[in-house]
Amino acid sequence: MRERGLKLTKSLVIVMLDVCASRQDKAKAFALMNEAKLSGLRLEIQLYNSLLNVLAEAGDAQIFDELKKLKIDKEGLGLKPNIESYNLVLKGCLKMRDVENALVIYRELCDPQSPLAGPNAITYSTLFDLCALEKDVATATMLMDAIKGSHVPVTIHTHCRYLNVFVAAGDAKAVQLFDEIKRNGPAPDLDAYNIILRYYLSKKSPTTLTAFEEMKSNGIEPDIDTFNVALDYAAMTSDHNRSLRLFEELKTRGLSPDIETFNSLIKCFAQSGSAMVHKIFEEMAESKIAPDHITFSILMQHKAGCVSLSTALDQQLVQVDPHPNSPKQGAALPAGASSSGGYNRIGGGRPAGSPSAASSPLTLPAIGNTRNG
């Protein structure tokens, strides 16, 4: 830093540590902290928490040693970990799926002898997310009981993280919990509906669509994740018309389809191998979204789907990239264009003002001999 003429300040170090966290660059983070010490910068707990965040993002077990150093003030800086420090260690536990150490941290926070005020909402949300990964409804239930007996407010976010544990575990109690939220409050938000929709979808329940319509009637604007669940259900039930209506609705609402959206559409039409699959590829090109391995997997489950993929390859609507790690991977057609220069879009015609010239093909990762599928 000094060689570059930069004066280290607290704000600059925190920004640079945040960059290290995004890159999971532990070595540079420690080098930066060492340089900060040598420069005489006054070290505060906020700086150490930024370092802990680097280790948390990397899922690095060294985070436990760094917390211990803070607790015993090994460097004699007069610093002690605060609740953010502990929550960052829990974030690291989540990355590492380390339930045992997470519960050790939690019990330490709950200790009456702790100088801190105890766990907060972030603590419990992180623990619930860890329970969801492990499908551990028993621990989640224990934690919710603890929240209700504490000073921590139970917000809709808390309810959502708790509900998500039961959905991840496929536990039927998820429906009861959601009904309790609707009955007792706080009112369910978009996140709550998206979570329960995933549960209904996993059970192949028609309530998926009922809940989808209910949230809209309650004034909650669905996002692309909401529509993707509804599209998945339409594909599951081979409801072609509903798939197309949902796709048009999400565009009307100003949402941008993603690869999951298109994969759900393809899932609906792959078995018949209809011309609609070709139109979906054109729509993907217009949206500059390249098919992925899931797209291929869906198509290759059905003979007609393999034929559709082969046709798309023959017509150069899609093209296999022999170098999947090249910068061109996933390059898409210009918006609105197809390999034939046409605009046979799903549910609509050519967009106003769109060019009519033919375009270059999508570039895809290598997948083997799909033409013989």
Q: Report pLDDT digits (tens) over 275-295.
A: 888 889 888 888 889 899 999
Rounded Cα distance, 288 and 336, in Å:
9
Distance CA(95)–CA(143), nearest Å, equals 19
Give the up-direction half-sphere exposure of residue 22: CA atoms within 13 A in the CB hemisphere.
6
The mean-pLDDT minimum among 52-61, 186-195, 363-372 falls in 363-372
Mean predicted confidence (pLDDT) in 36-48: 92
The whole-number average pLDDT for the span 260-273 is 91
What is the pLDDT, as a whole number, of residue 51? 97
Question: What is the rounded CA–CA span in Å between residue 332 and residue 364?
Answer: 9
Higher pLDDT, 356 or 82: 82
| Whether residue 266 has pLDDT greater than 70 | yes
Q: Please name which of 244, 245, 311, 247 lies closest in space to residue 275, comparing C-alpha atoms.
A: 311
| Residue 372's pLDDT band (cuts 50, 70, 90) | very low
Residues 142, 144: Cα–Cα separation, whole Å: 6
Give the 3-state DSSP-derived string for 331-356, with helices as H, strands as E and coil as C: CCCCCCCCCCCCCCCCCCCCCCCCCC
**What are the tens digits of pLDDT across the range 356-366?**
333 333 333 33
State the average pLDDT over residues 231-242: 95
Query: What span, in angstroms and rounded, lies between the C-alpha atoms of 125 and 338?
Result: 45
**pLDDT > 90 in the chain, percent:** 68
Q: Going by C-beta distance under 8 Å and a sequence separation of 6 or more, which residues neighbour residue 43?
A: 36, 37, 77, 79
Burial of 348 (0-12, 13-18, 19+ CB in 10 A): exposed
Lowest mean pLDDT among 126-130, 194-198, 314-318: 314-318
Tokens describing residue 30: 């420690």
Q: Specify the pLDDT at position 63.
A: 98
Cβ atoms of 240 and 268 closer than 8 Å? yes
Give the position of tokens 């264009």: 337
Residue found by looking up tokens 């209506």 in the block: 245
Residue 1 pLDDT: 54
* Residue 269 main-chain phi, psi, to 5 deg: -105, -5
Q: How far apart are CA 81 and CA 52, in angstroms?
A: 11
The pLDDT tens digits of the residues spanning 333-347 come to 333 333 333 334 455
Contact 372, 309 (CB under 8 A): no
Q: What is the per-residue pLDDT across 98-118, written as a single tens digit (0 to 9) for each?
A: 999 999 999 999 999 999 999
Question: Which residues, including other chains, have CB under 8 Å from residue 248's CB and lie 6 or more apart?
Answer: 346, 347, 348
Q: What is the pLDDT of residue 10?
A: 93
Residue type, 89: V
Alpha-carbon distance of 204 to 30, in angstroms, equals 49
CA dist., res. 39 & res. 327, Å (int): 40
Average pLDDT of the residues of the chain: 86
Digit-coded pLDDT (tens) for 288-335: 898 999 999 999 998 888 888 888 888 777 766 555 554 433 433 333
Q: What is the mean pLDDT of residues 59-88?
A: 93
Asked if 280 and 245 touch (Cβ cutoff 8 Å), the reply is: no
Q: How far apart are CA 227 and CA 240, in angstroms?
A: 15
* CB-count exposure of residue 84 (10 Å: 0-12, 13-18, 19+): middle
CB of 364 within 8 A of CB of 319?
Answer: yes
Measure the CA–CA gap between 302 and 198, rounded to whole angstroms.
25
Banded pLDDT at 193 (limits 50, 70, 90): very high
Separation between Cα atoms, residue 195 and residue 226, nearest integer Å? 9
Min mean pLDDT across 2-16, 186-200, 254-268 is at 2-16
| Cα–Cα distance, 373 to 366 (Å, whole number) | 14
Report percent pLDDT > 70 for the chain: 83
Position 265 scores a pLDDT of 95
**What is the structure's pLDDT at 339?**
36
351: pLDDT strictly greater than 80: no
Position 259 pLDDT exceeds 80: yes
Residue 180 is predicted with a pLDDT of 97
Q: Among 74-83, 96-105, 263-272, which range has the highest average pLDDT? A: 96-105
Question: Is the predicted pLDDT of residue 80 greater than 90, yes or no?
Answer: yes
Long-range Cβ pairs for the range 109-112 (8 Å, 24+): 109/83, 110/146
Give the sign of the dihedral formed by CA 361, CA 362, CA 365, CA 367.
Answer: negative
CB atoms within 10 A of CB 192: 23
How many Å separate Cα 182 from the centre of its chain? Answer: 25
Structure letter (DSSP) for residue 357:
S
Distance, in Å, from the CA atom of 238 to the CA atom of 228, rounded to the nearest integer, reads: 15
Q: Can you say whether the dihedral through the CA atoms of 28, 33, 34, 39 is positive or negative?
A: positive
